[in-house]
């Protein structure tokens, strides 16, 4: 996921003006983005995979937070019927102004709409335009960089992680879960956590309980693995009460999970002018 988001940042920065505050209205219009996402080979297994959902939400939130109002519109084409499940989850992280700019199509109807926004001589032929490679190839491989198999020399390796001495070893048997609670006595304290799973995966969630309230799920249960890096999290505790992190292995019938975990509660930092 990190590599995909880094590629996105590099691409957007390359096409963005270094000083947007000096842009005229006409310059701003020409530097707005019209991305086209082709889901023709998007499989069912990929659509329901948690990493896919996390990657898309991270990608979209990073774009919205750092490049607001640069999206002209986005075309999502060749979507299979099960794409709607992924989109329903991702939409929850998007403001209404962005959702209005997203156009979703199946196999038909999008070529005509693209030509309303992009000149036919600029739009590649495989997307319904007239532009081809110098050799006549409609795929326009000279300007459209497609994904390719990653060489094995570039594969990530699961090297042994160097964990700090403050990590606590937890053994969570099948059908069981481990709860780690913190009593927050100052509003706006910050709860941090980090954990590493020796093998396989585990469910993580965060809950809150006030003095008179029923328990509330703050971070829904999500299955995580730490094959290549530790899982880290940060949460601002806006209310006083009990915050409970849950490492849940109740879905496993056979495998216990060995987890190395650490967490800390940091008191809020106040500006001297506010005292």
CATH number assigned to the domain comprising residue 120 = 3.40.525.10
Give domain status of residue 47, yes or no: yes
Q: Report residue 27's pLDDT band, with 50, 70 and 90 as the boundaries.
A: very low
Q: Is the predicted pLDDT of residue 2 greater than 60, yes or no?
A: no
Strands of the chain (E only): list them: 36-38, 74-77, 102-104, 168-172, 177-184, 189-197, 201-209, 216-225, 231-237, 241-248, 257-266
Q: At what angle do helices 50-66 and 83-90 cross, to 10 degrees?
A: 40
Give domain status of residue 42, yes or no: yes
- The label of the residue with tokens 């995966």 reads 201
Whether residues 124 and 224 share a domain: the answer is: no
Whether residues 147 and 187 share a domain: the answer is: no
Whether residues 178 and 124 share a domain: the answer is: no
For 228-251, what is the mean pLDDT? Answer: 91
Number of structural domains the chain divides into? 2
> Could you tell me where the DSSP H helices lie in 31-176?
44-47, 50-66, 83-90, 96-99, 110-117
Q: Is the predicted pLDDT of residue 28 greater than 60, yes or no?
A: no
Whether residues 176 and 262 share a domain: the answer is: yes
Structure confidence by residue, pLDDT tens digits, 66-87: 776 788 889 999 999 888 888 8
Give domain status of residue 23, yes or no: no
Contact 117, 84 (CB under 8 A): no
- Position 175 scores a pLDDT of 94
| Tokens describing residue 228 | 């290549």
Give domain status of residue 224, yes or no: yes
Q: Phi/psi of residue 51, each to 5°?
A: -65, -35
CATH number at residue 228: 2.60.120.680
Whether residues 149 and 253 share a domain: the answer is: no
Q: Is the predicted pLDDT of residue 247 greater than 60, yes or no?
A: yes
Q: Is the predicted pLDDT of residue 199 greater than 70, yes or no?
A: yes
Give domain status of residue 163, yes or no: no
Residues pairing with 224 in the sheet = 202
Q: Whole domain around residue 56: which residue ranges?
A: 36-153
Out of 96, 127, 153, a domain closes at 153
Whether residues 89 and 183 share a domain: the answer is: no
Whether residues 41 and 149 share a domain: the answer is: yes
Structure confidence by residue, pLDDT tens digits, 138-178: 999 888 877 777 777 777 665 556 788 899 999 999 999 99
Q: Report residue 225's pLDDT band, with 50, 70 and 90 as the boundaries.
A: confident
Nearest CA to 189 out of 244, 239, 242 is that of: 239
Query: Can you give the pTM of this predicted structure?
Result: 0.53
């Amino acid at each position: 996921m990190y590599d995909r988001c880094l590629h996105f940042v590099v691409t957007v920065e390359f096409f963005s003006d270094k000083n947007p505050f000096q842009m005229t209205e006409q310059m701003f219009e020409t530097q707005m983005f019209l991305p086209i996402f082709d889901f023709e080979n998007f499989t069912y297994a990929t659509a329901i995979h948690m990493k896919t959902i996390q990657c898309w939400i991270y990608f979209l939130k990073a774009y919205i937070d750092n490049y607001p109002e640069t999206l002209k519109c986005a075309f999502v084409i060749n979507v299979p019927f099960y794409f709607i499940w992924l989109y329903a989850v991702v939409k929850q992280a998007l403001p209404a102004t962005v959702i209005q700019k997203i156009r979703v199509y199946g196999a038909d109807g999008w070529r005509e709409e693209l030509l309303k926004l992009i000149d036919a001589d600029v739009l590649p032929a495989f997307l319904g335009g007239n532009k081809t490679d110098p050799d006549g190839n409609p795929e326009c491989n000279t300007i459209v960089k497609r994904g390719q198999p990653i060489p094995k020399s570039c594969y990530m390796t699961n090297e042994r992680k160097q964990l700090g001495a403050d990590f606590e070893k937890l053994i969570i048997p099948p059908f069981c879960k481990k709860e780690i609670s913190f009593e927050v006595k100052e509003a706006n304290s910050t709860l941090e956590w980090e954990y590493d799973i020796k093998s396989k995966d585990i469910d993580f969630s965060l809950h809150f309980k006030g003095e008179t309230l029923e328990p509330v799920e703050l971070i829904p249960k999500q299955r995580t693995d730490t094959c290549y890096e530790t899982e880290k999290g940060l949460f601002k505790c806006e209310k006083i009460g009990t915050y409970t992190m849950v490492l849940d292995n109740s879905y496993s019938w056979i495998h216990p999970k060995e987890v190395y975990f650490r967490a800390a509660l940091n008191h809020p930092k106040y500006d001297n002018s506010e005292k």
